[in-house]
Amino acid sequence: MSLADVVRGIGAPRILVAGDLILDRYVFGTVDRVSPEAPIGVLRVTGEESRLGGAASVAQNLAVLGAETALFGYVGSGTFGDEFLALAAARGIDTSGVRRVAGRPTSRKTRHIARRGAGGQQVLRVDHEERGPYPEEEAKAFTSALTAAVPGADLLVLSDYAKGVLPGPLLRRVIENARQAGVPVLVDPKPPGPFHRFRGATALTPNRPEAASHVGFSLDDPDAVERAAARLRGELELEAAVLTLDQDGIYLKDGPGPGRLFPIVPREVYDVTGAGDMVIAMLAAVLASGGGYPDAVRLANVAAGLEVARLGVVPLSREEILEALHEDARGSGKLVSMAELEELLAARRRRGERIVFTNGCFDLLHAGHVRLLRAARAEGDALVVGLNSDASVRRLKGEGRPLVPLEERAETLSALSCVDHVVAFDEDTPLEAVKAVRPDVLVKGEDWREKGVVGREIVEAAGGRVVLVPEKPVTVQGRE
């Protein structure tokens, strides 16, 4: 089974997320002068935004991936608590397990960011929070509610930021209850201190410094990573230790034999905020849907790579994960099935992109084809090329054709930067492909004006356009 198949098979598992709830606030602006009052830049504010953070970031990621997500934690009774709950509700997250506590503020992290192009530089972070245990009666009620919800779940995620939401007695009771109910427990731990309070969980996902804080030695070589993973798995009675190793990838130890390192796909890094939340969310979604650890880790790597390429915490959809899998594939070019293409185009349309479609046999690609494809790509944001199958070409052009088989024709088209996706069709005309793609722009050569452009009525009825590209003679062996 391919990773794309694993993503499509995630389904809608019920996943509980319990832990510290944080309201992430972003203050955007520009810095173009130094303050006369102190040697610091002056941030001229151009916009503000609030997002879900902490355990709620994990819940949001899961909800966008399609899981039925329920959140457990605390917020304050004031306006920031109201704002937090409204953001969670907008994502479709069940917040009935979120308790409001008077006299204790909603934890907030406010990041001040100087914009530069699509990215930005964080110049200051201001935290509003109160650490320490919650009132005894509140803690008892919270523990009872979470414990009662566990048996009806497919998986439980514990996202601990060490702010007092998940004390030792609660963890022992909830983990034991989950074990008895056969519900896997994934833990994203934060220092300080060792991780013994998570003993009995199914899997732990510490990063390099967090794992080092437990085992007491640095994880600066492969042997040290293996020793740390083995120790975590043994001491804490885990099914798996999943160590996130920043640019090195993710190390999985899920059995008595040596663990495995899954390298990350290199991407330009804008902001590492939220990468760990994306990792545990993808692990949870795959495992709760019946997937195995290796596939879950591979997909977590893909998701984390996409997350760090964005500014701030931004959830990723399945379609965006699938698009990244296609882009990262080696040797497969841009040839996709129609089902895969529909998923990719759905993600593009959500981003407001204009889809262009053209088609042909492209049996012996020549300069005229390239000119047509470049002109087509200029009409929109993504060009889909419909490619006649070998059987279709044979029916249209006779025995002995195509001269070049489908896979090689697709590979040649994929090498062109103006082509985004290639999809094969077996019919004699591209009509069914046009219906499936639903392009905003349909492009053909000028010579199709008299012959009639297949699919014109469909595209124009949907508000799209048909563009005919003028032909330029192609020289072959000194002749036009």
Peptide bond into 266 cis (omega under 30): no
**Calpha distance 54→422 (Å, rounded):** 40
Q: Which residues of 164-182 are buried (b: 16+ CB within 10 A; e: fewer)?
A: bbbeeebbeebbebbbeee
Q: In whole angstroms, what separates CA 458 from the centre of its chain?
A: 33
Q: Which residue among the candidates 20, 24, 154, 277 is catalytic per the annotation?
A: 277
Tokens of 94: 């069940």
Cβ neighbours, 10 Å, residue 426 = 12
**Calpha distance 358→371 (Å, rounded):** 12
- Residue among 405, 468, 475, 416 nearest 442 (CA): 468
Catalytic, 248? Answer no
Q: How far apart are the first and last CA of the chain?
A: 49
Tokens of 358: 């053209």
Query: 444 CB contacts (<8 Å, ≥6 apart)?
Result: 358, 453, 466, 467, 468, 469
What SS3 state is found at 263?
A: coil
The DSSP-derived string for 273-323 is TTHHHHHHHHHHHHHHTT--HHHHHHHHHHHHHHHHTSSS-----HHHHHH
Sheet hosting strand 41-54, strand order edge to edge:
41-54, 21-34, 107-116, 119-128
- Residue among 58, 473, 45 nearest 303 (CA): 58
**Calpha distance 420→423 (Å, rounded):** 10
Cβ neighbours, 10 Å, residue 45 = 10
Residue 37's region, left for phi above 0, alpha for psi from -120 to 50, else beta, is: alpha
Cβ neighbours, 10 Å, residue 142 = 22
Residues marked as catalytic: 277
